[in-house]
Amino acid sequence: MRRRFLLHAVLVAPLLPAARPAFAAAVSPLELAGPIAQYKLYVLDEARQLVERTERFTTAVKAGELARAQALYAATREPYERIEPLAELFSDLDGAIDSRADDHAKAEQDPDFTGFHRIEYGLFHEKSTDGLAPFADKLLADVRELHTRLQDLTTPPDKVVGGAAALIEEVAATKISGEENRYSGTDLSDFQANIDGSKKIVDVLRPLLQRADAALLAQVDGNFGRVNAILARYRTADGFQNYEKLSAADRNGLQAPITALAEDLSRLRGTLGLD
Amino acid sequence: MTDKPRSGGCPFHPGTGPVAGRRGLMLGLAGGGALLLPAQAKAQPAPAPLMQSPPGRDAGAAGTALPFYGPHQPGILNPPPAAGLVAAFDVLATTPEELQRLFRLLTGRIAFLMAGGTPPAADPRFPPNDSGILGPVILPDGLTVTLSVGASIFDERFGLQALRPRQLVAMPRFPNDAPDRDWMHGDLLLQICANTPAATLHALRDIIKHMPSLLRLRWKLEGFLPAGLGDASAETPRNLLGFKDGTANLDPADATLMDALVWAGPAQGEPAWAQGGSYQVVRIIRNFVERWDRTPLREQERIFGRRREDGAPLGRSAEHEAFDYADDPDGQRIALDAHIRLANPRTAESANSRILRRPFNYSRGITRAGQLDMGLLFICFQADLRAGFVAVQERLNGEPLEEYIKPTGGGYFFVLPGAAGPDAYLGQGLFPA
Ligand code: HEM
């Protein structure tokens, strides 16, 4: 029966058993140091971009430039969505920067509801910049604080390696349903950023993965490619179309590689011998 | 920001890992599945009622592995156990080859789960091979998994248009229905029954875990039956309106009757591949229980045509008394519009509209109005959809019970013929050999 499974295997499928030993040869911890350092540079670069973009964005918000602020919203978030595995380690900041109305007892009216989605609510739901200035100031202060803390962070290897899967879980749990950026409909932009952030982790680990489990790596690459090809159809000159434009067929088309990626990437830590 | 379960916990990663898990499956199939507890005979004592209260959990019941292979799938004729759920899926496969692979994988998982056994250990640095919710040894607990297909599987995606069972369509709206699109239809349906809800959920999670790129969950409803007291098999389970439900059902032990009324095939004009399958109707029917509880008992009984206390037909003495309506043409005993009288007039002409019912109760939170959202997860099987369910439902349209019920979801499905043996797979007849 297994032979037949193999014959009919297609690329989106998670890896079949014959391709890998059940107990993977561990990669030595020393070998992870290089990739982790490389990733840290990426994260710091993204964090710097986050600060710069947030400066432009919050300036527009405070100047009452509604259309400009709306246009900048999605791109401002992107660096944050790419580096979430590390950014999320500071849960106080994560809550202040990226919580959703549902996370708060009084939803949109809750005084603790701050950050991107609070401003998104003003810009896209209320269609006004009125009263957003304090939220803009706080967001900018929070992302600057995040940048500082990331510089001081000793990067935990398991969080980095596990982050590739964590980003995909994020997509599977909220981005694929379009519920995170519910006022602006900009979820495809977050979606792409999560994918890029996950792929970056795979890329820095690539030489090690190639050695430890080349078949797993090929499979993962194939599914990243599949997701990117579908997302590319929704690109516009300066970002992505509204989530509502995503066709049912493409939504299903994304679901298959995303779920397969979630399964495959959940094996990354073990594959590299991390506990 | 991550969704609610925040700490590194992965809501989408309940357990089993594909590597050793699949290998375990192969071994399980080859070795027939290692079981700690001996499988028990499922034969019931002769004078048992047609539909029985499920047994409580004991070692014997927990070790019961029901047979999977045969001309028909399991989960149709055996008495319904305490827990039953249905889960409808959209198929993510896009080619006939992928669909075939999906059916093979599903067959392998179902065979493994129904047999039970010990999932292989995995390197603890990897996700475990099993969700673990049943403990280190998977006791089958009377598990059955029944796979059926919806009309949509026969659309242009897989080139199966010509093989559609001739009556399989998307379930239409009936006059009293309030269809909720989020709770209807599906390319595939799994009916999962077992002695405990944990066993059904374990099976569901295992299947979802093993088919990540092929299936997307569409809707799911969990049902239950109340356990009987003492000799459970002597009792008919009650539904959430307080009445015994399942008294008058087809006798699954009557093979001739099953061949005539439950199993479909060329005799009913179906394509040859469908031989041994069955039309399955699922209806999610909310019961307005607050209102029902404010209704006089006599009216409740008139609506059904049976006594609430013991299930006896009105004007008769015992639940299982044989009767028809020949001596009651004007509805003196049992009203002409009573549920059981409309559902089955018990005449020669209506004999071919009899169906095999396998309902569960469900309860799933409350409505916006602050009322209980509970009711009947109605499931029935028949060889001929039009002559069976549709004819019965058309007779029931407008019945007095409608004041107290509201069908909101479900669908029409066709149960695939059984897998003959370990070399066969469910749905095999849909693909060229
Ligand atoms: C919430 C909805 C429903 C409730 C509460 C309900 C309840 C009952 C009860 C209490 C009985 C009598 C006991 C028995 O013979 O099993 C019964 C019988 C029956 N019901 Fe229903 N039922 C419901 C929906 C349906 C539907 C949708 C159908 C089919 C379209 C159906 C078909 C039948 C049939 C065929 C019988 C047996 C009649 C006989 O042979 O005498 N029921 N039902």
Residue nearest to atom 26 of ligand 1 (CA): B393
Would B384 be classed as within a structural domain?
A: yes
Higher pLDDT, B49 or B376: B376
Q: Which residues of A touch B213 (CB under 8 A)?
A: 12-14, 256-257, 259-260
Using DSSP's 3-state secondary structure scheme, residue B286 falls into strand
pTM for the whole structure: 0.84
Alpha-carbon distance of B236 to B82, in angstroms, equals 12
Residues of B with CB under 8 A from a CB of A: 1-3, 6, 8, 10-13, 17-20, 22-23, 26, 29, 90, 92-95, 97-98, 100-101, 104-105, 108, 120, 122-127, 209, 212-214, 216, 422-423
d(CA A191, CA A172): 10
* pLDDT of B176 strictly over 80: yes
- Long-range pairs for B167-171: beta carbons < 8 A, 24 or more residues apart: B167/B279, B167/B384, B167/B385, B167/B386, B168/B279, B168/B385, B168/B412, B168/B413, B168/B414, B169/B412, B170/B411, B170/B412, B171/B281, B171/B410, B171/B411, B171/B412
Position B386 in a domain: yes
CA distance B140 to B117: 8
Mean pLDDT, residues B104-109 taken together:
97
Using DSSP's 3-state secondary structure scheme, residue A107 falls into helix
On whether the CB atoms of residues A154 and A133 are closer than 8 A, the answer is no
What total number of domains does chain B contain? Answer: 1
pLDDT band for position B59 (50/70/90)? confident
Q: What distance in angstroms lies between residue B300's CA and the mean position of ligand 1's atoms?
A: 14
Tell me the best of B238, B378, B394 to mutate to test the pocket of ligand 1, counting ligand atoms within 8 Å of each CB and taking the most.
B378
**B423 to chain A: which residues are within 8 Å by CB?**
1
Interval B114-168: pLDDT, tens? 999 999 888 898 999 999 999 999 999 999 999 999 999 999 999 999 999 999 9
pLDDT band (50, 70, 90) for residue B432: confident
- For chain B, say whether A260 makes contact (Cβ under 8 Å): yes
Residue B325 contacts by C-beta under 8 Å, 6 or more apart in sequence? B334, B341, B345, B346, B347
**Amino acid identity of B16?**
T
The pLDDT assigned to B29 comes to 33
pLDDT value of residue B15? 33
Q: What is the CA radius of gyration of chain B?
A: 22
> Does residue B30 fall inside a structural domain?
no
**pLDDT > 90? residue B378:** yes
At B343-377, the pLDDT tens digits run: 999 999 999 999 999 999 999 999 988 999 999 99
The answer to the question of residue B21 being in a domain is no
Is position B345 within any domain? yes
Q: What is the pLDDT of residue A13?
A: 37
User: Pairing state of beta strands B83-91 and B215-224?
Assistant: antiparallel
Find tokens 């269809």 and name the residue. B179
Q: What is the 3-state secondary structure (H, E, C) of B33-97?
A: CCCCCCCCCCCCCCCCCCCCCCCCCCHHHHCCCCCCCCCCCCCCCCCCCCEEEEEEEEECCCCHH
- What ipTM was predicted for this assembly? 0.78
Question: Among candidates A128, A4, A12, A212, which has minimal Cα distance to B215?
Answer: A12
Up-side HSE of residue B398: CA atoms within 13 Å toward CB?
4
CA distance B407 to B186: 17
Other Cβ atoms closer than 10 A to A145: 16
Return d(Cα B321, Cα B316) in angstroms, integer. 7
Residues of chain A with pLDDT under 50: 1-24
CA separation for the pair B111, B140 (Å, rounded): 11
Torsion angle in degrees (nearest 10) through CA of B192, B195, B198, B201: 0
Cα B386 to Cα B367: distance, rounded to the nearest angstrom:
33
Give the separation between CA B180 and CA B161, rounded to whole angstroms: 27
Contact A22 B1 (CB under 8 A): no
Residues B266-279, mean pLDDT to the nearest whole number: 95
**pLDDT value of residue B10:** 31
Measured between beta carbons, the chain A residues lying within 8 angstroms of B29 are 1
- Residue nearest atom 43 in ligand 1 by C-alpha distance: B245
Question: For residue range B18-40, what is the model confidence (pLDDT) as tens digits?
Answer: 333 333 333 333 333 334 344 44
Does a structural domain hold residue B357?
yes
Q: Name the nearest CA neighbour of A181 among A170, A197, A166, A168.
A: A170
What pLDDT is attached to residue A14? 39
Of B398, B359, B357, the C-alpha closest to B375 is: B359
Q: Which of B77, B5, B400, B79 is nearest to B233 (CA)?
A: B79
Tell me how close the Cα of B325 comes to any Cα of chain A, in angstroms. 52
Sort A38 into a burial class: Cβ within 10 Å, 0-12 / 13-18 / 19+: middle
State in Å: Cα B83 to ligand 1 middle.
20
Would residue B273 count as lying in a domain? yes
Rounded mean pLDDT of chain B? 88
B195 within a domain of the structure (yes/no): no
In this structure, the residues whose C-beta lies within 6 A of any atom of ligand 1 are: B 239, 241, 243-248, 283, 285, 287, 304, 306, 339-340, 343-344, 355, 375-376, 378, 389, 392-393, 396, 405
Of B17-31, B67-81, B211-225, B266-280, the poorest mean pLDDT is in B17-31
Q: Closest to A8 (Cβ–Cβ): which among B94, B97, B422?
A: B97
Domain containing B280 equals 239-417
Angstrom distance (rounded) from CA B34 to CA A21: 23
Instruction: With a cut of 70, say whether residue B57 has pLDDT above it.
Output: no
Instruction: Spell B352-383 as b/e; 16+ CB within 10 A means b.
Output: ebbbbbbbbbbeeeeeeeeebbbbbbbbbbbb
Q: Which residues pair with B87 in a beta bridge?
A: B190, B220
Going by the DSSP 8-state scheme, the letter that residue A87 receives in this structure is H
Q: Using the beta-carbon criterion (under 8 Å), do A13 and B6 form an inter-chain contact?
A: no
CA-based end-to-end distance of chain B: 49
The answer to which of A18-22, B97-101, B136-140, B239-243 has the lowest mean pLDDT is A18-22
